C-alpha cells in the first residue's frame, strides 16, 4: 500500500530537460555587456549597486574567509566588495569593463588596500594557472555574462581542490507569475546589465555544481548565495 521512501533524484528536482534547456530567454555578447558597463560605471555605486549591498554583507560574513586565503573576485566592478575582505587575505579582482575597473583602482588607493590587485580580463577566459585560489567568488555576475556555464568552468579550474566557489545572484523565481514576469522583462533588463530570468536548477546541472548550501539574501530575499566546494 505504501511505497518505500525514495530520495528524489537530481532530474526530478531540476526537471527532465535541465541539462539542455536554455538558461534564459535572452542571449547577449561580451561587446554588448562591455558597452552597458562602460555606460553604467559613473552611476553604478549610487544606483543598481547600492540596493545590492545587504547581500554583499551577508555573503562576506557567511564565507568565513581565513587568514592567508587567496581570493578571486570575478566581475569586481567598481570594487564595492574590496574593503569588506579581511586585510590578511590576498584578493585578486578581474573585470571586463575598463571604466568599472578604473573606479575600483581609485577605491583601492583611497582606502589603502594593499592586499588587492586588479586586472582587466574576461571571466570566461581567466589568465590564471589551475588551482590558484582558495575561494572564487562571483557577486552579481553570473546573470550578466553571455555564458554562465563557461565562466563557472573557469572558476572551477582556477580554484584549488578543497576550495570554494561562491555565487551571489538573482535567479528566476519559483512562482509561476514571478517567473513569467522575469522572462518578459529579461530582454529589457539586459540594458541594466543583467538577465532577470536565469534558471538556477538548469544552471547547476549544466555547470556540474553540487551546492553545499543555497541561502536567500538581500531585501527582498530574491537573491541567492550559492556555496559549492571543489572536490
Ligand atoms: C552587476 S556588476 C557587479 C559588480 C560587483 N561584483 C558588485 O558586487 O557590485 C557586474 C560586473 O561584471 C562585469 N562583467 C561582465 N561580464 C564580464 C566578463 N565576461 N568577465 C569579467 N567581468 C564581467 C561587469 O563589467 C560588471 O562590472
- pLDDT for the residue numbered 2: 45
The interaxial angle of helices 30-40 and 98-111, nearest 10 deg, is 50
Question: Stretch 175-185: mean pLDDT, rounded?
Answer: 96
Site to substitute for ligand 1 among 75, 105, 120, 196, most atoms within 8 A of C-beta: 75
- pLDDT for the residue numbered 11: 61
* Whether residue 104 has its Cβ less than 6 Å from ligand 1: no
- pLDDT for the residue numbered 12: 59
Residue 92 scores a pLDDT above 50: yes
CA 201 – CA 198 distance, rounded (Å): 9
Cell reading at 58: 551577508
Residue 58 scores a pLDDT above 90: yes
Atom of ligand 1 nearest to the CA of 81: 8
Mean of the per-residue pLDDT values of the chain? 94
- pLDDT for the residue numbered 145: 98
- pLDDT for the residue numbered 9: 57
Residue 14 scores a pLDDT above 80: no
Residue 61 scores a pLDDT above 70: yes
Ligand 1 centroid vs 191 CA: distance in angstroms? 14
Domain boundaries of the chain, sorted by first residue: 20-229
Atom of ligand 1 nearest to the CA of 193: 1
* Whether residue 82 has its Cβ less than 6 Å from ligand 1: no
Ligand 1 centroid vs 77 CA: distance in angstroms? 5
Choose the CATH number for 20-229 among 3.40.710.10, 3.40.50.2000, 3.40.50.150, 1.20.1560.10. Answer: 3.40.50.150
* Whether residue 154 has its Cβ less than 6 Å from ligand 1: no
Question: Stretch 140-161: mean pLDDT, rounded?
Answer: 98
- pLDDT for the residue numbered 197: 96
Percent of the chain predicted with pLDDT > 90: 89
Residue 4 scores a pLDDT above 70: no
Question: Are 143 and 170 spatial neighbours (Cβ–Cβ below 8 Å)?
Answer: yes
CA 39 – CA 97 distance, rounded (Å): 10
- pLDDT for the residue numbered 219: 87
Atom of ligand 1 nearest to the CA of 79: 5
- pLDDT for the residue numbered 1: 42
Torsion-angle region of 75 (φ positive above 0: left; ψ -120 to 50: alpha; else: beta): left
Q: How far lies 195's CA from each of 24, 39, 145, 212, in Å? A: 7, 17, 9, 25
* Whether residue 173 has its Cβ less than 6 Å from ligand 1: no
Ligand 1 centroid vs 76 CA: distance in angstroms? 6
Q: How far lies 176's CA from each of 68, 86, 172, 182, 221, in Å? A: 45, 41, 10, 10, 17
Question: Stretch 147-155: mean pLDDT, rounded?
Answer: 98
Amino acid at each position: 500500500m505504501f511505497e518505500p521512501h525514495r530520495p528524489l533524484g537530481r532530474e526530478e528536482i531540476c526537471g527532465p530537460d535541465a541539462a539542455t534547456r536554455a538558461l534564459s530567454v535572452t542571449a547577449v555578447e561580451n561587446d554588448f555587456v562591455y558597452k552597458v558597463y562602460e555606460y553604467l560605471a559613473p552611476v553604478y555605486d549610487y544606483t543598481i549597486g547600492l540596493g545590492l549591498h545587504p547581500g554583499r554583507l551577508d555573503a562576506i560574513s557567511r564565507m568565513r574567509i581565513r587568514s592567508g586565503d587567496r581570493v578571486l573576485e570575478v566581475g569586481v566592478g567598481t570594487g564595492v566588495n574590496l574593503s569588506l575582505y579581511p586585510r590578511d587575505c590576498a584578493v585578486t579582482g578581474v573585470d571586463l569593463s575598463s571604466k568599472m575597473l578604473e573606479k575600483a583602482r581609485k577605491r583601492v588607493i583611497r582606502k589603502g588596500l594593499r592586499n588587492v590587485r586588479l586586472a582587466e580580463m574576461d571571466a570566461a577566459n581567466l589568465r590564471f594557472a589551475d588551482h590558484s585560489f582558495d575561494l572564487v567568488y562571483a557577486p552579481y555576475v553570473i546573470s550578466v555574462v553571455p555564458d554562465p556555464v563557461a565562466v563557472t568552468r573557469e572558476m572551477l579550474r582556477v580554484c584549488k581542490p578543497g576550495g570554494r566557489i561562491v555565487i551571489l545572484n538573482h535567479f528566476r523565481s519559483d512562482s509561476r507569475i514571478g517567473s513569467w514576469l522575469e522572462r518578459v522583462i529579461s530582454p529589457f533588463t539586459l540594458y541594466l546589465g543583467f538577465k532577470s530570468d536565469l534558471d538556477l536548477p538548469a544552471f547547476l546541472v549544466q555547470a556540474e555544481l553540487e551546492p553545499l548550501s543555497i541561502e536567500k539574501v538581500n531585501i527582498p530575499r530574491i537573491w541567492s548565495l550559492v556555496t559549492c566546494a571543489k572536490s
